[in-house]
Amino acid sequence: MCGILALLGCSDDSQAKRVRVLELSRRLKHRGPDWSGIFQYGDFYLAHQRLAIIDPASGDQPLFNEDKKIVVTVNGEIYNHEKLRKLMPNHKFRTGSDCDVIAHLYEEYGENFVDMLDGVFSFVLLDTRDNSFLAARDAIGITPLYIGWGLDGSVWISSELKGLNDDCEHFEVFPPGHLYSSKNGGLRRWYNPTWFSEAIPSTPYDTLVLRRAFENAVIKRLMTDVPFGVLLSGGLDSSLVASVTARYLAGTKAAKQWGAQLHSFCVGLEGSPDLKAAKEVADFLGTVHHEFHFTVQDGIDAIEDVIYHIETYDVTTIRASTPMFLMSRKIKSLGVKMVISGEGADEIFGGYLYFHKAPNKEEFHTETCRKIKALHLYDCLRANKATSAWGLEARVPFLDKEFINVAMSIDPEWKMIKHDQGRIEKWILRKAFDDEEQPYLPKHILYRQKEQFSDGVGYSWIDGLKAHAAQHVTDRMMLNAAHIFPHNTPTTKEGYYYRMIFERFFPQNSASLTVPGGPSIACSTAKAIEWDASWSNNLDPSGRAAIGVHNSAYDNHLSSVANGNLDTPIINSVPKMVGVGVAAELTIRS
């Protein structure tokens, strides 16, 4: 992934303003360490920090059409770029970059070309013929994007908050599936799939249709000119990604360049559930497996860097981002620039453990719709920014547009969890890949219970975070929390601790408004808490908060811990229990 920054119509074309744009763009250099570029046309500035994945030699940005009247700065991957090039035989492309098609598509089709793109993207396009501009973000919001406004009437677009927060009077999240047109003066939604209306679908479940749709989503993401691998936690989603990748890698251009043996990566505390399961899957698939260990203290020491890069104070996002952030640094040190990951399946198939309590298929389906629509604020944010912090790109095949269309058109009755029929969470996905003749995965992995990433890396990770926060946030601070943080007031000491760090980096009111809030149980939306009356007394985003569902659910004692009610004896004992301050550095085993 790259970093983009645009300043549009600022009424200042001075050298000082150009220097300021370059300075702000450098704040995004971690996203694109391979090259920097800037284009200025009067008081319009388009800047780019490049992570070179496709055509590293000639794909530097900004990119242009033939006569250089149309200019674009892009963060993304356009998987159907070769097909799109064939639609425009009269156009001359300057590079082999997949993003090179965007300026030409605009020239050929106008603003309505965005839905033709199959991929993930955020871009800003400037048409110097009439000084109009267009900005757009991909369907689900896999690439991050923010929009801001200056007092001088300028519009700012940036991949991250840190690129515009100091220079805008107001800024906000650029919504997924939308475009901003200066000709129309506002945002409009270009992504309008059938499922978006939340109407209940009725298509019968077909295992082979679902399987093939996912395989196609993975195969198109093998488009790369640089070394890559897969993130493998040993859970269902990442294991299926690894399995399909390993199965179809041979014969691809990537295999010819970098070899047909897949590399896999996993992170966890010593002895964690994920490490054990991931090793078993790696052995089954024959991958070159890299296992990274971290301690609770390693994670705690990284929290400030994590919050700076992820740009959130959401508790569950920070819990899960920290191990991913640490792992990404190690992966990049091995020379890998792209990984394929398993985000999105839980939202599409109702994989979170709280879905066990969905009262009917209508509630089940509308909750999955709500979860997908909010992904850009949670797992997409984490997967993109935790990896991009180290110049690593993460691709997420479960969030492929066509795959989502297939999966979200299935009658949700098939997705419902029915213990009397042996149907656990994500049963239809598991069943689609349950092949006796050519197995994709070992049976017990294929039917392993859902484990949230922040839990799977080791249960003592979350417990250690809570204990650490309790040592730094007093009861008096919690009593005054609503006065200090009137928006999204933190209700736990852990939440308060993260919020203090966030506010130090991003003190503007606009910044706090970009982060979602509200109660949650095991990653649910606030609405789903109504499914079980007991949950309102045990609010925590960890999967272990799903008491009566998770095999290692919190007991009553840990339930109080989950809500930040730690007395002194517990605080004093936790570091000894989880090994805080014992082991120092990440270790790697290959």
Residue ranges of the annotated binding site for L-glutamine are 98
CB 563 within 8 A of CB 520: no
Q: What does the alpha-carbon distance between residue 38 and residue 123 come to, in Å, rounded to a whole number?
A: 14
CB 58 within 8 A of CB 95: yes
By annotation, the residues acting in catalysis are 2
Considering Cα of 386, then 387, then 388, then 390, what sign does the dihedral take?
positive
Contacts for 528 with CB less than 8 Å, ≥ 6 apart: 354, 357, 358, 363, 367, 521
CB 28 within 8 A of CB 184: no
Q: 397-417: string of b/e by CB count within 10 Å (b at 16+)?
A: bbbbbebbebbbebebbbbbb
**Exposure on the CB side of residue 25, measured as CA atoms within 13 A:** 26
3-state SS of the chain: helix, strand, coil percent to 5?
A: 45, 15, 40
Q: Whose structure tokens read 């039917």?
A: 447
Using CA atoms of 554, 556, 560, 561 in order, give the dihedral in degrees to the nearest 10: -40
| Beta pairing, strands 288-293 & 263-268 | parallel
Q: What does the alpha-carbon distance between residue 273 and residue 458 come to, in Å, rounded to a whole number?
A: 7
Q: What does the alpha-carbon distance between residue 543 and residue 413 come to, in Å, rounded to a whole number?
A: 23
**Exposure on the CB side of residue 569, measured as CA atoms within 13 A:** 1
Between the two ends of the chain, the Cα-to-Cα distance in Å is 26
Q: What does the alpha-carbon distance between residue 579 and residue 296 come to, in Å, rounded to a whole number?
A: 7
The CA angle 118-59-402, to the nearest 5 degrees, is 10
